[in-house]
Structure 1
Amino acid sequence: MAANARLLFSVTGVVEAATGLALLIAPALLVQVLLGAAPDTPAGMTAARVAGAAVLSLAVACWLARDDLAGKAAKGLVTAMLFYNFAVVAILILGWIRHGIAGIAFWPVVAAHIALGVWCAACGLASSRIADR
């Protein structure tokens, strides 16, 4: 993994930090923009804030890993972020298909997670090719 992974971790760190903070501070607004409906129960607000803390944790891990790309932890993080990005896409698309949920930011968020997932896959493949040499 090289500069491409460093940039991936930097971009992911910033984007997911913003998302995580928004979920912690204003979960109803972010969920409304993404899904077209606010989490209008205390349980929904709590779940959104827990998700915010989790996303913020991923952001911190990515940000800290951007300067340590040679280790197994960085490779594991790329794999974890690959899973995360494609899981988010699958969950959102399933919600759209089954329940018709989609806010104004829905498709841009889906596209961003697809792009980040492909970027993770490319970094993982590049890392594997380097290790095979």
Structure 2
Amino acid sequence: MNTAHRHTLLTLFAIAEGATGLGLVVAPSILFVLLFEARPVASEAPLIARICGAALLALAAASWGARDAEDRRSTLGLLVGVALYNFLTTAVLTYSALVLEMVGILLWPAILYHAATSLWCLLAIWRAR
């Protein structure tokens, strides 16, 4: 696995998801408006968003810590998890845009980011094999 590419991928992923996670923990309603142009309809939505934000911060911390790891199997496992997260996030966000018609100013850029990161992860996984 090309360590320079893996380092860049995991660094950018950690920064982007860490910022998103922090935003969800601190001010989930702002992210709801930017992504979906909607305010939460259920009183539980901000609580669930904060839990998701905490999970994103944990994933960002794991990615940041693994940027320079030498253990190939552990790094490969992390890349598989990051790829799966990005594929599923791409699907859910695309569903919100096309089916639910919940489209905020940052939704399509977020979809493109997650789709590109998915492909980048797959390339890194393929190169590692």
- What's the TM-score once normalised by structure 1's chain length? 0.92
Asked if 2 retains the 8 angstrom alpha-carbon contact of 1:65 and 1:74, the reply is: yes
Q: How many residues align?
A: 128
**Corresponding residue for 2:71?**
70
**Corresponding residue for 1:85?**
86
| CA drift at 1:73 | 1.3
* In structure 1, distance between residues paired with 2:39 and 2:58: 23
How big is each residue's C-alpha offset from its partner over 1:36-88, in whole Å with a ceiling of 9 and x where there is no partner? 11224330010110110011111001000001043311100100011100100
Gaps of 5+ in 2: none
2:117 partner letter: L
* In structure 2, distance between residues paired with 1:74 and 1:95: 31
Identity %: 34
The structure 1 segments of at least 4 consecutive aligned residues displaced by more than 3 Å after TM superposition are none
Gaps of 5+ in 1: 129-133
Equivalence map 1:21-100=2 (5 Å): 21-100=22-101
1:19 partner letter: T
**Corresponding residue for 1:117?**
118
**Corresponding residue for 1:7?**
8
RMSD: 1.1
